Amino acid sequence: MGKGKILTVLSNYGYWGVELTGPMVKLEEAGYELTFVTPKGERPVALPPSYDTNYMDPPLGVCVTTEADAQQVMDIKDSPKLDNPINLSDWFPERPYFSASNFLREWEAYFQEVRKRHAELEEYAALLIVGGSGPVVDMVNNQRVHDLILGFHKQDKPIAAICYGVACLVFARDFNERNPIIRGKHVTGHCIEYDYHDGTGFVGTDFNIGPPPYVLEYLLSDAVGPDGRYHGNFGKSTSVIADYPFITARSLQCSHEFGEQFVNMLDHGLRRYGW
């Protein structure tokens, strides 16, 4: 029998291949099963540069995808494993507008429904939020994704996020308190030195928005507050930070280490790593 299920959130606008496969391989080797969920229930698609060994990352000035990682991504990107993910928009309710005609009753019903959905998370051992540029479009400012994260946080279960998936943690807040759940924590994520000046593209669109629409380093630095710390680790080949229940990773180069330490948190009670 497996050890448990890991609920894995992927964008419908493109995930970075190894940011899924790196942790996925480590988790499956350790006996965990991944269950996939996307914002609209559509099959997730790997960003083409993430399995192109000739793709040169502009800020790093090197090709960032190894032959082994590219093969790993190609093995999964068309696999039946990614067919029929859970549709988050059907699973979790949408928060009503304050202008709703019967707002108080709708507001009460929303919280009751969220409580039911949170109870359903009992069957999962942890949450994994995969990065890439796609999350910028449909995950970072997605209230349903926030409510999903809060459910795992309330159950004190590990919450793992990599690259631009980490941005979801900045905005996952209790609606009444509105404080970041990562306040006072140690986290990592894309540092400004690694941000693109141009070329932020998505699957299923015909536009390039140029640079990322926000500087993740600044968002994280502000969200953790004076008692926490953002670790960019610029110049170091990897940056993986565990501060239970969170484990965060800077970018694709961290994927395998991220997976190893995620398993370490699940199996051996890791609470602190990388700082």
- 60-88: per-residue pLDDT in tens? 999 999 999 999 999 999 999 999 999 99
Q: What is the separation, in whole angstroms, between the first and last Cα of the chain?
A: 35
- 206-247: per-residue pLDDT in tens? 878 889 899 999 999 999 999 999 999 999 999 999 999 999
How far apart (Å, rounded) are the C-alpha atoms in residues 212 and 196?
Answer: 7
Q: Is the pLDDT of residue 1 over 60?
A: no
Q: Residue 46 forms beta bridges with which residues? A: 15
**Per-residue confidence (pLDDT) for residue 19, from 0 to 100:** 98
DSSP characters over 91-159: HSPPPPPTT-TTHHHHHHHHHHHHHHHHHHGGGEEEEEE--SSHHHHHTTT-HHHHHHHHHHHHTT--E
| CA torsion, ordered 135, 137, 138, 140, to nearest 10 deg | 60
Q: Residue 37 forms beta bridges with which residues? A: 9, 86
> Could you identify the residue written with the tokens 């980490």?
166
pTM of the model: 0.97
- 135-189: per-residue pLDDT in tens? 999 999 999 999 999 999 999 999 999 999 999 999 999 999 999 999 999 999 9
Other Cβ atoms within 10 Å of 76 Cβ, number: 16
Average model confidence (pLDDT) across the chain: 96
> Using CB atoms within 10 A of its CB, is residue 97 exposed (0-12), middle (13-18) or buried (19+)?
exposed
SS3 41: coil
Task: Identify the CA nearest to 23 among candidates 32, 110, 14.
Answer: 32
How far apart (Å, rounded) are the C-alpha atoms in residues 72 and 27?
Answer: 14
| Single-letter amino acid code for the residue at 80 | P
Q: Residue 8 forms beta bridges with which residues? A: 36, 128
| Single-letter amino acid code for the residue at 67 | E
Q: Is the pLDDT of residue 199 over 90?
A: no
Q: Residue 36 forms beta bridges with which residues? A: 8
How far apart (Å, rounded) are the C-alpha atoms in residues 126 and 261?
Answer: 13
SS3 243: strand
**Per-residue confidence (pLDDT) for residue 13, from 0 to 100:** 96
DSSP characters over 66-101: -HHHHHHHHHHHTSGGGSS-EEHHHHSPPPPPTT-T
> Using CB atoms within 10 A of its CB, is residue 26 exposed (0-12), middle (13-18) or buried (19+)?
buried
Q: Is the pLDDT of residue 58 over 70?
A: yes
How far apart (Å, rounded) are the C-alpha atoms in residues 229 and 222?
Answer: 9
Q: Which CATH superfamily is domain 4-273 in?
A: Class I glutamine amidotransferase (GATase) domain (3.40.50.880)
- 114-131: per-residue pLDDT in tens? 999 999 999 999 999 999
